[in-house]
Structure 1
Amino acid sequence: MRIDLDLSLGHTKKSSNWELLYSIYGALVILIVRNVSQKYIFTKIGFRLGLRQIGMKKAPHDATLEKAYSLSKKWKLDRVRGLAKQLDVSEEEIESWLKLRSAQDRPSVLTKFCESSWRCCYYASAWTAAVLIVWDKPWFWDLDQCWSDFLDQTVTRDVWWHIMLSLSFYLSELMSLYFDVKRKDFWPMFIHHVATVVLLFFGWKCHLFRIFIAALVLLDGTDILLELTKIMIYLRHNRMYFITFFTFLFVWIVARLVYFPFWVVKSYAKDAPRILPFLRDYSVYYIILTLILILLILNCIWTFFILKMARDILFTDKPYRDSRSDSDDN
């Protein structure tokens, strides 16, 4: 097998299936870079900004209680009474143990700050790169051109790099879901990352580079503001988080509920079959459309929670809570 390792920018090339292996290696590299930067860069920045890693008092080890905790982290009164009777201790001792054990799993503000700082840096870099890539591309301003000469399209090196790095990043995010800060919407995020990875894979296989990078320009931009808002919360900059949150809310609605469905999704679902009628004869067209609609549904679900946050900020005295993505204990 002949492998072309010319990865210089600015040229065009045909995509090859074996190149998808780069994304796996890329995901592992990104995980290493992420862990190193969080430990040696963002942690120090957090310390400089006044955040501290507060030590938690550990619950005394008890095999029976640990087994029960591994099955369910929230115990009803009947469960507490049963364990108290089984271990011949008071219910208050069981509840005290559960409180301490739950606190052990609760991430510190510094940990959450480091995660959000890493993501904010990635999304800012990825979005800036994407804008620079598409700015002079006529097909970005007229999506109908994404479908012209469809079967003969070659991918420019800058687009190649961006799609490959995006695929690597979302693979790394999928891998890290299990050891990151536990989130309320773990399963929606899992579905989102799986759908995104599969879409980028099909984009590679089916010459959909152009329409997918147009979507990434819209989607990554909103995540910059989301992570920046979290950072302001963790640093207790109330005025700044108010500004960043409502800027994020506006950009989210415009990008994800207006431009994404009525520009990107419309182009794929309506304009592409009009220009390329043969697409409707292939099942992969409907698989991709289903995955895109799943992302759109997730955007609508998250919008509901974001609007609840906006209501709480404006009309109640509740502190800001990120119902979309932070843990229950945030």
Structure 2
Amino acid sequence: MLSSLSELVWQDWIWFPPGLGWADLQDHDGKVFPKAGDLWATIPIALSFLVIRQIFESVVALPLAKLLGVKDNQRVRLIANPTLESSFLNLSKHPSKSCLESLSKQTGWSVRQIQRWFRSRRNLDRPNKLRKFREASWRFTFYLVAFFAGLAVLIDKPWFHDTKMMWQDFPKMPLITSQYWYYMLELGFYMSLVFSVATDVKRKDFKEHIVHHVATILLISFSWLMNYIRAGTLIMLLHDASDYLMESAKMFNYAGRRKAAELLFALFAVVFIITRLVFLPFWIMHTTWVYPLTLYPAFFGLYFFNGLLVVLLFLHMFWAVLILRMAIKLLPGNDNAEDVRSDKDETESEDEDEDKTETSKNGHVQNEITIERWADRPLRRERCQE
């Protein structure tokens, strides 16, 4: 039954133009073509990246952090309280007023003491600067190496200068050794990001990053199977062109080098918008979607491939909004620059602002700063058990 289903799903007419099919991807006359079995090699590569990352962060990133003066914020040490810890883990990290009053009766602490305890407990769960720096330095190193390695692989290829050449002799383009390793390493790296997602720093766009990683893995894998490798290499190069700039900006930001961080972020913003919102749709997607229809009748594989590109494009548009918001904060005279996706430590003044908000007349907020500061806080849906 599974064999019949596989034959039905992978029929030539679904994935290839008329007259072409899987038989055209069989090795012959010394020419090698991509195969589905090649993708299994990415699993040990991904696991190797996880090991290399641990070594890199300890041997390279940690000394570099000390050299740049990366310092962690000093956090208040918590007084052990099993009742509050149980409420924090099982009920709510942001207890309501009624819950605070109930906990006050149970522990004998004042509401203000409990608020401070919960604030400090939330801060303990947030990643410190050193951890963020180590993660950013690892990604910076990979993206930097991947971009210039990809550029070296593609600079002399005809489809780099004329994208229409990516369809020449499709799908009978033999595999080049440099393309094989470029694909395997990129795919292995993104798979390692999925493997480490549970331990990596989580930001406000966590879900969007998961969608991005999955769509990227599907796109790279599918382009390998269908021998859309020429298009795939160009897409990977465009993505790597801006990522290392963003990671370097983070590194300098965590090190307290604000001017350098702002300059790198501005450069990142320009490169990101040009590569992902201009080159990708108008240079790459035009050649992968519009141009092929002048050569072949429409077929499902073409739309599936471009559908994955559309998912990435929408994610790029989402991130472009965040980037523009950040760019506005970097304008002269604005001292409130920070990563809008970050989950920063809370301060006691923020709790005071919240109290003012909750006690305002008729439920109206009197302080606009309070709205902006607390807009992204989790909804308090939990109820404290009396």
> Shared fold (TM-score greater than 0.5)?
yes
Cα root mean square deviation, aligned: 2.1
Counterpart selection for 2:63 from 40, 44, 47: 44
**Which letter maps to 2:288?**
Y
- Deviations 1:148-192, CA, capped at 9 Å, x for gaps: 211212221101101110000001111222111121110011111
Query: Hey, what's the Cα distance between the residues in 1 that align with 2:101 and 2:248?
Result: 44
Counterpart selection for 2:145 from 114, 120, 125: 125
Q: Who is 1:300 aligned against?
A: 317
* Secondary structure in structure 2 of the residue aligned to 1:150: coil
* Secondary structure in structure 2 of the residue aligned to 1:151: coil
Residues 226, 185 of structure 1: alpha-carbon distance in 2 compared, 3 angstrom cutoff: same
Which structure 2 residues correspond to residues 73-88 of structure 1 after superposition, within 5 A?
73-88=93-108
Query: Hey, what's the Cα distance between the residues in 2 that align with 1:291 and 1:89?
Result: 54
Q: Who is 1:319 aligned against?
A: 336
- Deviations 1:33-91, CA, capped at 9 Å, x for gaps: 11111122211111122223566444344454334333543333333234334545432
Q: Which moved more, 1:298-307 or 1:173-182?
A: 173-182
Residues 12, 163 of structure 1: alpha-carbon distance in 2 compared, 3 angstrom cutoff: farther
CA-CA distance at 1:12 after TM superposition: 5.6
CA-CA distance at 1:315 after TM superposition: 4.9
- Given the alignment of the two structures, is residue 207 of structure 1 paired with residue 220 of structure 2, yes or no? no
- Deviations 1:239-276, CA, capped at 9 Å, x for gaps: 21222121111111111111011011111121123223
Counterpart selection for 1:29 from 35, 44, 48: 48
Pick the structure with greater CA Rg.
2
Q: Who is 1:281 aligned against?
A: 299
CA-CA distance at 1:134 after TM superposition: 0.5
Mind listing any 5+ residue stretches in structure 1 that lack a counterpart?
1-10
Q: Who is 2:136 aligned against?
A: 116
Q: Who is 1:102 aligned against?
A: 122
Query: Hey, what's the Cα distance between the residues in 1 that align with 2:292 and 2:94?
Result: 49
Q: Which moved more, 1:174-183 or 1:57-66?
A: 57-66
8 Å contact from structure 1 (residues 147, 276) kept in 2:
no
8 Å contact from structure 2 (residues 171, 228) kept in 1:
no
Which structure 2 residues correspond to residues 134-283 of structure 1 after superposition, within 5 A?
134-277=154-297, 280-282=298-300
Counterpart selection for 1:66 from 64, 85, 108: 85
Query: Hey, what's the Cα distance between the residues in 1 that align with 2:130 and 2:43?
Result: 29
Q: Who is 2:367 aligned against?
A: none
Q: Which moved more, 1:199-208 or 1:235-244?
A: 235-244
Mind listing any 5+ residue stretches in structure 2 that lack a counterpart?
1-29, 347-386
* Secondary structure in structure 2 of the residue aligned to 1:52: coil
Q: Who is 2:26 aligned against?
A: none
Residues 312, 53 of structure 1: alpha-carbon distance in 2 compared, 3 angstrom cutoff: closer
Query: Hey, what's the Cα distance between the residues in 2 that align with 1:36 and 1:322?
Result: 27
* Secondary structure in structure 2 of the residue aligned to 1:314: coil
Residues 275, 158 of structure 1: alpha-carbon distance in 2 compared, 3 angstrom cutoff: same
- Deviations 1:197-235, CA, capped at 9 Å, x for gaps: 111111111111110110111111100111111112112
8 Å contact from structure 1 (residues 184, 328) kept in 2:
no
CA-CA distance at 1:140 after TM superposition: 1.6
TM-score relative to the length of structure 1: 0.89
TM-score relative to the length of structure 2: 0.77
**Which letter maps to 1:36?**
I
Q: Which moved more, 1:72-81 or 1:185-194?
A: 72-81
8 Å contact from structure 2 (residues 289, 303) kept in 1:
no
Residues 42, 12 of structure 1: alpha-carbon distance in 2 compared, 3 angstrom cutoff: farther
**Which letter maps to 2:207?**
W
